[in-house]
Structure 1
Amino acid sequence: MALVFRSTPLLWARVAAMVFTCVAFSVALYGASLTHGTGDWCIFCWSFSFAGTLLIILVELCGLQTRAPVSWKNFPITFACYASLLCLSASIIFPLFFLKGYSGRNEMINCRIVSTVFSCLATIAYLSEVSMSKARPGEVAGYMATAPGLLKVCETFVACVIFVFISEPVSYKQNAATMWCLSVYCICFILSAGIIVMCVAEWTGCLPFPFARFLSTYALLAVGMYLSTTIIWPIYKFDDKHGGSSRRPNACGSSMGLCPWDKTLAIAVLTALNFLLYLADLIYSARLVFVTV
């Protein structure tokens, strides 16, 4: 097994991302004094991204792409897109929970600042990798390298954040309308995740119907479902006539992180964001000529 080293901008973007994530979680573990589960999430984001990038670099240096049990046209860019979103979330959450309200420049604060800076640098590195790996107009590439494929990664990630906010505290059991919203989040997440898995595992040819037609049909249905949720959730959560609360409680100002009302608002914003992502997905899917290589 011979190592194949070719210096390319894509390789250096991956090396930079790997180094930045390594520094972020190493410094955080060394002296950031993380005290609750939010810090564990940030450590997971950085360490998972580091491990996956290291694996991709080793596979390509050893020339093992053809022996990998996944589509190498789809897997690296899918991972890079998820890693960029993970590092972005850590870059926002970490300073919000571990730098807000702290003053001075002792070792603990310095470590937290360093982890935040390198998390932001890792996000930029992963976004650069995605930009270099995505399909150009007229180029034959895997589905995940196209705009609809990358949009599905974003759709599933946003849905995961919604699940976190909607389940702690539980805010979907208010009535049948809010239960419908949860159903929309779950159905669309499962189908989008299933499409990603089929593309990465190269199972799209196993479907009894054309994959491109399925993508367009699903995108149309998802747009309609998310449109209803974008309207229903704010009505039943922020309209006083429907059991909601239009004013932010005063207690939210003194709470650490996001209070329940803030999380409800975040769900409304993320729902609207996912609606726009599915709308863009529908527009791209309707005109995309998908070529399986």
Structure 2
Amino acid sequence: MGLAVKSTVPFLKPLFFRLPQLFSTCMSFSLVADMGIHRGSIGNWFMSICCFCFVVTLIILTVELRRLPSEFPFFWYLSNTYACYAALLCLSASIIYSITYVRFLPCGPYQDQAIAATVFSCIASVFYTTEVVKMWEHCKIYKTTCCVLTVPGLLKVLETFTAGIILTFISNTSLYLHQPALEWCVAVYSFCFIPAALAILLNLGEWEYRLPVPFPLFQLVLTLLSILLYVSALVLWPLYQFSEELSGQPQRSRDGDCRDELTYNMCTGDQRRAVAVLTAVSLLVYVADLGDWARQVSVGTEDQPRDS
């Protein structure tokens, strides 16, 4: 049954998912590229996201049309993993681009192009999400599995994605180099990204059962450790970024590059707040992940035979 769903993938996806995804990302890329110097660095970042999704989707479409997935079953897992990340990428790009740049553009053709590009990016996110949902339904019908099309898999995708966005924001070293506590937060974000990404790789390669300890127990311990680390970051990051007593900036307007007008870069104050919000979101995701792994460990313990 698992082979049946994989054999239908090359025919279903190009018709219902790939072409709309290609069209939406291409339109977003083209509209922002046509803005020229008015797109700014934020526009370049948004354009690079759309371009990346377009290129990878085109590669996947080419492989599927040549019916190569039947020869490389692992490709099916990679394409579904990519769809999860592409949905999040397009959605986050739309949100960040609209609230940090588009709303400050003066009324005119450039603002109209930026709004249209944002809409097409949202449409692309919808199609990528629809693909994930449809493949989840196919997995249930045909009794096959894909690590990212499960609750633990999707939670790991969210953990790695939010950590990746946070690491992108803190690439501005001026946010934390002046405080050891903030450097600790950066270390937390970097460290917690590694086991989450490792878990996805282990599942994709079906190597999770080669560990010396049960995989659910392994993930339970790592997730609990990540929660403790994220709790410290959730306390320290806002405390040292927004407290005047600790040399923080409680008001956005006090940052020299933060003004209620059009800027070509995301201002420092917005980066600080984005990291604080994403830290809280990541913590919630890890808590949900901990609950799921705790359930799996308890179920596995109950299923073990007991001595009479």
Q: CA deviation at 1:41?
A: 1.8
Counterpart CA distance in 1 for 2:13 and 2:156 is 26
Aligned match of 2:103 in 83, 100, 104?
100
| 2:200 counterpart of 1:196 | yes
Greater share of residues in helix: 2
Q: CA deviation at 1:158?
A: 1.2
Segments of structure 2 that go 5 or more residues without pairing to the other structure are 1-6, 300-308
Counterpart in the other structure of 1:118: 120
Once structures 1 and 2 are overlaid, which stretch shifts more, 154-163 or 4-13?
Answer: 4-13
Counterpart in the other structure of 1:21: 25
Counterpart in the other structure of 2:91: 88
Counterpart in the other structure of 1:253: 259
Q: CA deviation at 1:122?
A: 0.5
Give the match's secondary structure for 2:90.
helix
Equivalences, count: 285
Alpha-carbon contact 1:169-1:260 (below 8 Å) kept: no
Give the match's secondary structure for 1:94.
helix
User: What is the CA RMSD across the aligned residues, in angstroms?
Assistant: 3.0
TM-score w.r.t. length of structure 2: 0.80
**1:169/1:61 CA distance change after superposition, 3 Å:** same
**1:272/1:84 CA distance change after superposition, 3 Å:** same
| 2:275 counterpart of 1:267 | yes
Per-residue CA deviations over 1:141-164 (Å, capped at 9, x if unaligned) read 122211121121221121122122
Per-residue CA deviations over 1:228-282 (Å, capped at 9, x if unaligned) read 2112222222223333233333453346254322321221111111000111111
Counterpart CA distance in 1 for 2:57 and 2:77 is 14
Give the match's secondary structure for 1:67.
coil
TM-score w.r.t. length of structure 1: 0.84
| 2:230 counterpart of 1:226 | yes
**1:95/1:272 CA distance change after superposition, 3 Å:** closer
Alpha-carbon contact 2:100-2:266 (below 8 Å) kept: no
Counterpart in the other structure of 1:277: 285
Segments of structure 1 that go 5 or more residues without pairing to the other structure are none
Q: CA deviation at 1:191?
A: 1.6
Q: CA deviation at 1:171?
A: 1.9
Counterpart CA distance in 2 for 1:6 and 1:169 is 45
Counterpart CA distance in 2 for 1:254 and 1:115 is 22
